[in-house]
Amino acid sequence: MSDLDASTGKGRTGFIELPTSIITVGPIRVDASHLKVIVDGKTMSLTGLEGYILSFLALQANTICTFSQMGKPIWGSNNDGNTGLIKATILHLRHKIEPDPNNPIYILTVPGIGYTLVGHDLDETIQNTPMGEDV
């Protein structure tokens, strides 16, 4: 397993270049170069791996991202065994950006494949959810 340095983005396989601009997906603003995420005006710090994964998902918003796609730039083609680290990182991200981490509305799981970051506003989700149905 490799560590990703929060300040340089360096992992075992070399330099991971994080986006230098802020990526906005719905109410989520990812500032990977400063390792920050802003959700509805609230700023939270990210680790290097969180910044990389969240910016990767944001750049591919509304598209399914596989574990292999997320891990290959960090660990190279030998990405086996790092699925657990990606899952743990997604869990940490959900605690930072989701209104209810146990019922995510932004970072959605695609079972057996990976994740997708959905770009919609919380108000829009609440308005489009039938009464009595969990989001």
Q: What is the DSSP string of 74-91?
A: HHTT--TT-HHHHHHHHH
Of all helices (H) and strands (E), which one includes residue 70?
helix 67-75
Higher pLDDT, 133 or 70: 70
Rounded percentage of the chain residues whose pLDDT exceeds 70: 71
How much is the mean pLDDT over the chain?
79
pTM attached to this predicted model? 0.75
119-128 average pLDDT score: 52
Contact 106, 118 (CB under 8 A): yes
Domain locations along the chain? 10-128
Rounded percentage of the chain residues whose pLDDT exceeds 90: 53
Higher pLDDT, 18 or 71: 71
CATH of domain 10-128: 1.10.10.10
Residue 17 confidence (pLDDT)? 61
Contact 44, 53 (CB under 8 A): no
